[in-house]
Structure 1
């Protein structure tokens, strides 16, 4: 009998799942419900459209309902919001925002992928300011239009994580004065402090007004912003980028288990505690590849992999999800910052003994034009050499962290980084790449030298 599979949410999770399921099963009836008007787009590209690096909004559209129907025989209902999951009846209740009516749809399998919602910081008189978030395609279009029509000249970025840093560069590229307010002592708190400091230097070098260890306390009557450190700044609008949280309300209402990290609990095949309901993407709690502990990471690669795992399981050919490393990268003007696995404070908090190998070198041969500084740090177990995490800042950071991510996934030890045969020519690297050199440096930190 043909399976009827309903998918709640599009974009990286839901749209990818639907495509993967169709690839594996050409008979299943697949319907995707997306409450917004765009069902599949490159949300990671939104800052770069706002900065003018991506010239046309259409370039961010990965697929349309029409192309899904024509090319994949998948029905997509945009502006249709699932408002209730009725587990006992195996139905969902849907609000059709086009016709302004509700109806019920039956399912054999349900895939829950509504993503996440922006967190709103505690700012007094927030309603006085022009406040925006950047989570949906609609958010991007609205902000783009308002910057132009309202002639915004300055912005306060509230939050110094990935979105805040990317928007700092892109707003500067658009000719807008940028203030960045970060609650903690450093931007991008996942980085080691000395690496965060390199990004802060880059921000200041590019005329970003940086406020660390501060929050926006209130918006004054004259629309100036009062910071917790006593500073008052002026900005035409605020972009709130303090983080996101799983959009889990439907799952909670349906009685599905929510984990310690705030995401919907799933097993290694993306099943919730209802075997006919799967969950993927930013809404779920998964587990750490290295420690096996619960982990919630909103990254595109993670959502894509989870979508494939769910599709394989539904079609009876299961492959387990192996966990999350949290590999990520951020461009801040001329500096790149990349991470994988755990940083020092994370390991200390868990009580995991570790050693650290560090290296600062040129990203390629020093005599070749354009050589610049690359800093690399790796944390590892001094008994076994198991790699716990790594970070890199500088040009070429992406290549080194990708290699180390692969090494972790393949269970290579830190000493085995010495043995990797990495492509070399003067424009790209050195005869012994920084990754190789970290392996040699680690020898002195091992309890048993090899």
Structure 2
């Protein structure tokens, strides 16, 4: 008999499941029920249509019910909201746009309802627009037509994409973020670079702040210092996160996970063997923890849609845990991350070792090279890669993707040194930035070059000697300063002749611009009998960290 599969939700995960299942089983009867007006649309492209980067709205519409029927023989029904599941009868109740209902039977049911944007519960919240589907983007595009100002609530990946694209539309944009920084997936010394790019392009950023009410054309915001102010807001977009759409599963009595998500096993099967769940509404297997996780990313949704089709078709598959890899572009600056951040590792009480580097994206002698900031998090006991972050003009996403692949393959941090990566002067360096992270990891694992983090130096109780081994000219442009000592400069090339000027009874923290000369100086001093350690990431990491702690709010006049 023909196996009937009903799929609820026709975007990333749902349509990946439907099309993969058709390629595996020509005889399967596949019905997809979508509450909205459009199946298979490019929801990740919505902000870029608002900003005019994607000029044609139709570019967002990847398929229609008719094209899916013609190519895949899939019965896709839009404006068809599933309002109930009868697990005993194996039917779902479908409510149409006119209010009429009917029951649809299934042999296997796949839940892919996604997640809905969270709107703050504040006075005037009905003004806040969200970006989930094509109807939302139409409303936002219309609202920006005569709005000179915009307020974006939330500075995560989507919030920053929206802010940039509203600025492209010519609006004066303010971003309000409750956390003390933008992009909480990054650690503060990297995230500050993104904030600086936003402010440099005229976007006002208020961190540690909350919107407490929305008026007809403005908003009342509580700022980080506890004061309140009115912010012009001709249009308001809520981008503070998403809530899994687990209500249908809950009503049906299925087991739930964190925040009302749908709990699934490694086969994406729910507590009912005939019902599966995929996409943003379903839990994921966390690569770094035993508890189910919520990781609302498009690539995972598509991957799990494909895998659930394999399970339904009876094909073996390899369940892969999720590390959470994401990237965003902000006015020409790329920020990307994979795995855990230092903040999250610290909150979990998990031991880690941090490595900061500041390499060029390609060979420095080839025109156009730009500097990036990379950070690697490593388990000090096993050398396992726990996470990585990067910010820069070019080449960042490539390096984070390489590290995410290394994590999937179980490579250690030191193993990054031995990766054979494509090289030509226009594309990289003979020692690729990923290799360089591996070299540093090797040195730390072997104990050859002990390192200290910027925060550890700030909190050091032994008041070590801080030694700048850069040139006098570099030192003059900015240096590490500590309250217990005046800056001390001893350029690396003169260190062999001048090291006797240093005390032997105190720890010495060496720093250069990015950490490389500091490594050489630390090796030299340790072999000469000094208790020397290298400041990880050098002056640039210190500078960015201090900026993340001491930055002043950008005044409205500068927006």
- TM-score of the two chains, using structure 1 as the length reference: 0.96
1:259 to 257, 260, 272: 257
Matches within 5 A, 1:364-443: 364-394=362-392, 395-443=394-442
Instruction: Provide the rounded CA distance (Å) in 1 between the counterparts of 2:258 and 2:14.
Output: 24
* C-alpha distance in 2 between matches for 1:126 and 1:94: 30
Q: 8 Å contact 1:306–1:321 — kept in the other structure?
A: no
Q: Distance in 2 between matches of 1:293 and 1:102?
A: 38
Structure-1 residue corresponding to 2:123: 124
The residue correspondences of 1:113-262 to structure 2 (distance < 5 A) are 113-127=112-126, 130-148=127-145, 151-220=146-215, 223-229=217-223, 230-262=228-260
1:405 partner SS: helix
How far apart, CA to CA, are the structure 1 residues paired with 2:320 and 2:291? 12
Tell me which residue corresponds to 1:59.
59
CA distance in 1, matches of 2:143, 2:156: 24
Structure-2 residue corresponding to 1:87? 87
Q: Secondary structure at the match of 2:284?
A: strand
**Is the CA contact (8 Å cut-off) linking 1:192 and 1:343 kept in structure 2?**
yes
Cα distance per residue 1:56-79 (max 9 Å; x no partner): 111111211011100100000000
Name the SS of the counterpart of 1:336 in structure 2.
strand
SS for the counterpart of 1:375 is: strand
Q: Quick check: 1:252–1:258 contact (8 Å CA) kept in 2? A: yes
Structure 2 residue 14 is the aligned partner of structure 1 residue 14: yes
C-alpha contact 2:244 2:259 (8 A) present in aligned 1: no
> What does the per-residue CA deviation read over 1:356-378, in whole Å, with 9 as the maximum and x for residues that have no partner?
11100111111222211111111
Partner Cα separation in structure 2 for residue 3 and residue 449 of structure 1: 62
For 2:502, the equivalent position in structure 1 comes to: none
Larger radius of gyration: 2
SS of the residue 2:2 aligns to: coil
The residue number in structure 2 matching 1:103 is 102
1:449 deviates by 7.3
Encode CA deviations 1:331-378: one digit per residue, 9 max, x unaligned.
011210000000011111222111111100111111222211111111
CA distance in 2, matches of 1:306, 1:393: 29
Cα distance in 1, alignment partners of residues 25 and 92 from structure 2? 23
Cα pair 2:119 2:128 within 8 Å, conserved: no
Unaligned runs of 5+ in 1: none
The CA deviation at 1:437 is 0.2
Is the 1:262–1:285 Cα contact (8 Å) retained in structure 2? no
Structure 1 residue aligned with 2:305: 307
CA RMSD of aligned residues (A): 1.4
2:67 maps to 1:70: no
Distance in 1 of aligned mates of 2:30 and 2:69: 10
- Asked if the contact 2:21–2:310 (Cα under 8 Å) also holds between the matched residues in 1, the reply is yes
Contact 2:35 2:81 in 1 (8 A): yes
Could you tell me which runs of 5 or more consecutive residues in structure 2 were left unpaired when the two chains were aligned. 450-559
Q: Deviations over 1:265-294 (max 9, x none)?
A: 101111001010000000011121233432
| Residue in structure 1 matched with residue 461 of structure 2 by the alignment | none
Secondary structure of 1:41's aligned partner: coil
2:2 is matched with: 2
- Indicate conservation of the 8 Å contact 1:261/1:294, yes or no: no
* TM-score with structure 2 setting the length: 0.78
Higher strand share: 1
**How far has the Cα of 1:224 moved from its partner?**
2.6
Q: CA deviation at 1:146?
A: 2.6
**In 2, Cα distance between the equivalents of 1:261 and 1:237?**
29
The whole-number CA distance in structure 1 between the counterparts of 2:214 and 2:135 is 25
Distance in 2 (alpha carbons) for counterparts of 1:105 and 1:123: 39
Offset at residue 20 of structure 1 (A):
0.5
Which 10-residue stretch deviates more, 162-171 or 117-126?
117-126
Q: What's the offset of the Cα at 1:447?
A: 5.9
Measured after TM superposition, the shift of residue 212 of structure 1 is 1.1
Q: Is the 8 A contact 1:15 1:40 kept in 2?
A: yes
Residues 261 and 295 in structure 1, CA contact (< 8 A), matched pair in contact too:
no
- CA shift at 1:159, angstroms? 0.5
Kept in 2: contact 1:158–1:238 (CA 8 A): yes
1:37 corresponds in structure 2 to: 37
1:260/1:131 Cα in 2 relative to 1: closer, same or farther (>3 Å)?
A: closer
SS of aligned partner of 1:164: helix
Work out whether residues 130 and 238 of structure 2, in 8 Å CA contact, stay in contact via their aligned partners in 1.
Answer: yes
